[in-house]
A and B are shown apart, each in its own frame.
Chain A
């Protein structure tokens, strides 16, 4: 079974600074997708960024980028120029290539942004 681990229950960052959230996963599959979701106090999960395992290039979405290390099964999220609106729970998630929309989530990291 696949597992996703987020070792940082809480992180804090100063506004305008950079922060990196860690995620490791375990799978025997060779094709899969990895995601970072944001859950603000409104509770709605919002997709931040996604990475296809077959792509060597790290995904980037504006201020958000990932460091995908397939051999190490590591998938960290870097948030640059942190903003107050980035404060939320962040979840790393895994989806096998042929598993429909069955996501396996990590335990989450609560990110606090200090003004």
Chain B
């Protein structure tokens, strides 16, 4: 059953801590994306990757980092430099027909 798997579903981070959100796909898509979803602000692009070992910053990349060592995987690290990390994070992969989204990770700073 093809799709995108994000884990964990819920994540709690302490102040000053880095955390990594996982995103895996078995759709054989080249392009993958990370978005942040906040109420009233829609989806804002954090990072994207169109091919293995290459990625670009999106509109709100500060305080985040990514890697793309395998086609199937595009993990997102939320660093301590991100001032307001509490949000819902969505991963997506892309084909001609449009995006396929994961179920999301809700990150809360405690």
Is B truly associated with A?
A: no
A interface residues, Cβ below 8 angstroms from B: none
